[in-house]
Copies of this chain bind each other. A is one copy, B any other.
Amino acid sequence: MTRTSPDLTLWLRKLDPDGRFDGATRALLSAALDDIRPFGAHQTLFHEGDRPAETILILEGLACRSKELPSGGRAIVAFLLPGDLCNGDLALFPTLDHSLRTLTPGRAAYIPQTRLQRLEASTQALALAFRRAAAQEDAIAREWMANLAQRSGRTRTAHLLCELFVRLRHVGLARGFSGALPLTQQDLSDATGLSVVHLNRVLQGLRRSGLLRLGRGTLEIVDWRRLARVAELAPDYVELLEAA
Please give the residue numbers on chain A whose beta carbons come within 8 Å of chain B beta carbons, in ascending order.
49, 65, 67, 69-71, 73-75, 77-78, 89-90, 92-93, 95, 97-98, 128, 131-132, 134-139, 141-146, 148-151, 155, 190-193, 232, 234, 236-237, 240, 243
- Of the A-B pairs whose beta carbons lie under 8 Å apart in the complex, a sample of 25, sorted by A's number, is A67-B142, A67-B146, A69-B232, A70-B232, A70-B234, A71-B150, A71-B151, A71-B232, A73-B151, A77-B146, A90-B135, A92-B135, A93-B136, A93-B139, A93-B240, A97-B142, A97-B143, A97-B237, A98-B142, A137-B138, A141-B142, A141-B145, A144-B145, A148-B148, A149-B190
Min C-beta distance of A194 to chain B, whole Å: 9
Q: In the docked arrangement, what's the CA distance between A169 and B18, Å?
A: 46
Please give me the residue from chain B that is nearest to A121 by CB atom: B124
User: What number of copies of this chain does the assembly contain?
Assistant: 2
Most buried by B among A74, A97, A148: A97
- Chain B residue at smallest Cβ distance from A193: B149
**CB of A69 to closest CB in B, whole Å:** 5
A65 touches B142 (CB 8 A): yes
A141 touches B138 (CB 8 A): yes
Contact across chains for A69 and B151 when beta carbons are under 8 A apart: yes
Give the distance in Å from the alpha carbon of A90 to the alpha carbon of B67 in the complex.
26
- In the complex, A138→B139 CA distance in Å? 10
Given the known interface contacts A69-B151, A134-B134, A141-B138, the answer about A95 and B146 at a Cβ–Cβ threshold of 8 Å is no
**A193 to chain B: which residues have CB within 8 Å?**
148-150
Q: How far is the CA of A95 from the CA of B236 in the complex (A)?
A: 8
Alpha-carbon distance A136/B138, docked complex (angstroms): 12
> Which residues on B sit within 8 Å (CB–CB) of A141?
138, 141-142, 145
Closest to A233 in B: B70
Q: Could you say which residues of chain B place their CB within 8 Å of the CB of A143?
A: 67, 97
